[in-house]
Chains A and B, each alone.
Chain A
């Protein structure tokens, strides 16, 4: 079974870091596609 993290502070920290990481990845994915769209004629 997975190690459950019960400490609320730590849980919040994990969720916050996870969210930032996902946002960073999404920015690069959609950002580069948007750049290519803007550059095409």
Chain B
């Protein structure tokens, strides 16, 4: 299936050599760089909208008692925050990076299916306008959690069909994006670039794309059944009609657990690109990294019920899902070991991408360890639905996935824009983010272990101190991200000229560094030869 044809460039034809003028450039965009830029700007917008919701949550939880919002609105905020951050911020940001970087890294002139690429992106603003629009319909936004468990989610008001349609649209967008990634990687690689010569970011995205194609339709199927239960008299998940609400949970988590890896595997790819550059050494154990990524992807399909230990299941089921979950620590451990080994005796320098990568390494590992704690069935009976779970997945997703995105932005922004950004401000952004993210999420471990339940707007006074500290961390982290937006937009507008290699003191490898900064609008019109 994989073709890296000799002289294929001769057959590829470009009708135009520059961007279209005006709004048409963006509306009808088929250029991977333009679409990648739109994805990332959209993701940044969603990051701030979802972040504003997080600020409301943390403001309400600043002290015991009801302060600002009513409980229903609080639940709407937790639900919408999760949906927006997962489907609107983190996933589109990675798809944006894939759009920008995969053609550049495999030496292709563009994505294989550029018109579908345009469609994948432009679905998203409609999906999220509809989702955010639910805040203004009678009954308000969905408030039953991002997991949409029935029968609770069936009590959603007028927002219900909007939620289902929005989720379908997001799913369609993701599936089309993933198909484009697979088709591009399998068919558009430069001559000589065999699979095991691909940059590691491309590898992680290839595996992620297969995960997306396998599990997004499962989510779509689950919400389709919610819809037919709601409007068409089926009883898939209604016990009264012979259905089973627990079946929804199984189907949802069959999607939901691989979804976690969809948000972290490309992050692994980014970190695996950055650490060698600033260690001035090749990545330690490239093949092992590829196999570890594939192993994690495979294992992600057989651990879903660890989200459901307290629902009840046979002892053999508990044992299987507990041990399978713990097994994920092995390939993940291989990765952490290889990143550390790459840095070992390296000539390290600490530019902003490397700072975020190192921070990722430490803090993601904390999230991984708390995940192992949650995998232990009897312990999970204690931790389930407490703030310990909130602390765990936020450690994985914020200093994990989001920090990797910031690392990627600081790594490739000079390549994209042709300008260096303000290093001092970027380092300040790093320190503020790293300090505040820990102030925000670390105390939540203590709150959870002490028994504070998640998804509540009020709490017992014994939880007051750590909640106040967590909220202060939240406000600090949120404000720090304004600095990130400023650095990015200032870099787009201008700045010191970036060289083609950008990180001249480092050893960035890969085809993207052979192009000018910024790269030409149509790059690799003649396919490069990979030795």
Contact = CB atoms under 8 A, between A and B. Distances in A.
B217 A3 contact: no
A25 B113 contact: no
A26 B2 CA distance: 23
**Looking at chain A, what size class is its interface with the partner chain?**
20 to 34
B186 A2 contact: no
Nearest to A6: B11
Contacts of A1: 14-16, 30
Contacts of B197: none
A25 B1 contact: no
Contacts of B217: 25-26, 28-29, 32
Contact of B112 (A14, A33, A40): A14
Contacts of B30: 1-3
Interface in B173-196: 175, 178-179, 182-183, 186-188
B421 to A, nearest CB: 30
B12 A5 contact: yes
A29 B16 CA distance: 39
A9 B10 CA distance: 13
B175 A9 contact: no
A10 B7 CA distance: 11
Given A1-B30, A4-B13, A33 B225 contact: yes
Nearest to B172: A25
A9 B2 CA distance: 11
A17 B225 CA distance: 29
Contact of A10 (B11, B247, B251): B11
B109 interface: yes
A14 to B, nearest CB: 5
Interface string B219-237: 0111011000000001110
B5 A7 contact: yes
Given A6-B11, A7-B8, A29-B221, A24 B213 contact: yes
A3 B108 CA distance: 10
B85 interface: no
B12 A13 contact: no
B287 interface: no
B13 A36 contact: no
Contacts of A24: 213-214
A38 B16 CA distance: 53
Given A10-B3, A17-B1, A4 B15 contact: yes
Interface string A9-41: 110011011101110111011101100110111
B183 A14 contact: yes
Contacts of B186: 13, 17
B12 A6 contact: yes
Contact of B182 (A17, A28, A30, A39): A17
B435 to A, nearest CB: 42
B215 interface: yes
B114 interface: yes
Nearest to B183: A17
Contacts of B213: 21, 24-25, 28
Interface of B: 1-3, 5, 8, 11-16, 30, 109-110, 112-115, 175, 178-179, 182-183, 186-188, 213-218, 220-222, 224-225, 234-236, 242-244, 247, 251, 254, 522
Q: Can you list the 7 inter-chain pairs with the closest CB atoms, starting with the nearest? A: A7-B11, A29-B217, A41-B242, A2-B30, A1-B15, A2-B114, A28-B217
19 contacts: A1-B14, A2-B15, A3-B12, A4-B13, A5-B11, A9-B5, A10-B188, A13-B2, A17-B183, A18-B179, A21-B178, A24-B214, A26-B217, A36-B221, A36-B225, A36-B251, A40-B242, A40-B243, A40-B244
